[in-house]
Amino acid sequence: MSAQTPFLLFSGTRSRYLADKICKSLGLPLGQMNIQYFADGEFSVSYEESIRGRDVFLIQSTFPNSDNLMELLLMIDAAKRASAHSIIAVVPYFGWARQDRKDQPRVSIGAKLIADMLSTAGIDRLITMDLHADQIQGFFNVPVDHLYASSVFLEFIQKKLPMDNLVIATPDVGGTKRASSYSKYLGIPMVICHKSRLRANEVAEMRIIGDVEGKDVLLVDDMVDTAGTITKAADLMLANGAKSVRAIASHAVMSDPASQRVDDSGLTEIFFTDSIPYPGKSPKVKILSISDMFAEAIRRVCNDESISNLYVIK
């Protein structure tokens, strides 16, 4: 790689698909790195070019399994030991973010633990997107650039969806702030689904607060895991007279049987970003890329420029 390159980008194994698109947007090659695997599953990381005194961006989401997180930690450690000038972790999907508080006795706060691990490994900055809870930024003692997929989704909504009959909806009360931001920006009504759970990933009861009769509904969420909540919300909207129901969500966790549930539901379409690779095959699932947004954020961080105008809504 040329010595004139202003900064270097490297990717973990499972985020290579996104790193390639980010590099293409920046007009830069992806850095050369080697990951050696041992028979028992252990692996080691090494850089195949000098990174001494350079700003290094490490692109790796920490979605399941945990090897992705361990790989990122080893990438950070190797960069620190190779005398990188600064180490910026680019984590489009920050895993364990649902464990952001102690909401019952004797539980871990996984998001804080991951933040401590990344900081101890040696990052100087984190660039991420649509954390499950905004306050996770406070778990870090390094700068956090928290991007929002809304800038990608809003452009799509305004170009492709029927704005004159659209209603924004949230599949649970916890997403009210996010849905309200979309509603205010677009100047359209909002409705809320209130749900109660018996246990994690299992919805016991759900009801609608607001009117969806004859409306085209757009459900807004930050992630979809098993798709139980969002598909139940979609079916409930249709049962209450909605004309159509679509959904947008930043992260396609999509654990089994999520794809089947989406196919069997009343959802017309569901749109995700490519923060996580979607391995399933559902005709209702569509993917929008965040590569240009992350490329611009990386460029501005490296050039000490403001990124605030990348935030269309929060």
pTM value is: 0.92
Reply yes or no on whether 195 is catalytic: yes
- Give 227's DSSP letter: S
Strand partners, 274: none
112, 195, 215, 232: the active-site residue: 195
pLDDT digits (tens, 9 = 90+) for 42-92: 999 999 999 999 999 999 999 987 999 999 999 999 999 999 999 999 999
Of 196-200, 282-286, 299-303, 306-310, minimum mean pLDDT range: 196-200
CA dihedral of residues 130, 190, 157, 173 (deg, nearest 10): 20
Which residue in 145, 79, 124 sits closest to 311, CA to CA?
145
Torsion angles phi and psi, residue 159, rounded to 5: -90, -30
Q: What is the strand order of the sheet 125-129 is part of?
A: 8-11, 55-59, 86-91, 125-129, 144-147
pLDDT digits (tens, 9 = 90+) for 215-274: 999 999 999 999 999 999 999 999 999 999 999 999 999 999 999 999 999 999 999 999
For 193, the 3-state DSSP assignment is strand
Which residue in 252, 240, 181 sits closest to 208, CA to CA?
240
- Predicted pLDDT at 62: 94
For 61, the 3-state DSSP assignment is coil
For the chain, the average pLDDT equals: 92
